[in-house]
């Protein structure tokens, strides 16, 4: 599995809270965000129609990187 790098802008208060939660759970902030995203996707897939990881095949995906 390859790693994708991207910038994320978040509110300073949310950032501080993420740092605290990550410390309490023994993760870096980056790994905490990755964990949260994986859990969200897992729950989404379980409660919805299956999605594909390839955005070009997923009509619900929106790519704002351009």
The residue behind tokens 């790519």 is 63
Distance separating alpha carbons of residues 60 and 21, to the nearest angstrom = 30
7 part of a folded domain: no
Task: Give Cα separations from 45 to 9, 22, 28, 52, 54 (angstroms).
Answer: 26, 25, 26, 10, 14
Residue range 18-59, pLDDT digits in tens: 999 999 999 999 999 999 999 999 998 888 876 666 655 555
53 part of a folded domain: no
Q: What is the pTM of this model?
A: 0.69
Domain range for 28 is: 12-45
- The closest alpha carbon to 55, from 66, 43, 46, belongs to 66
64 part of a folded domain: no
62 part of a folded domain: no
In the 8-state DSSP scheme, what is residue 3? -
Q: How many domains does the chain have?
A: 1
């Amino acid at each position: 599995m390859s790693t994708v790098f991207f910038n994320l802008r978040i509110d300073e208060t949310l950032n501080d809270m993420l740092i605290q939660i990550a410390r309490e759970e023994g993760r870096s902030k980056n790994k905490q965000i990755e964990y949260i995203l994986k859990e969200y996707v897992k729950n989404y897939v379980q409660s919805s129609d299956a999605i594909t990881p390839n955005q070009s095949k997923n009509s619900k995906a929106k790519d704002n990187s351009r």
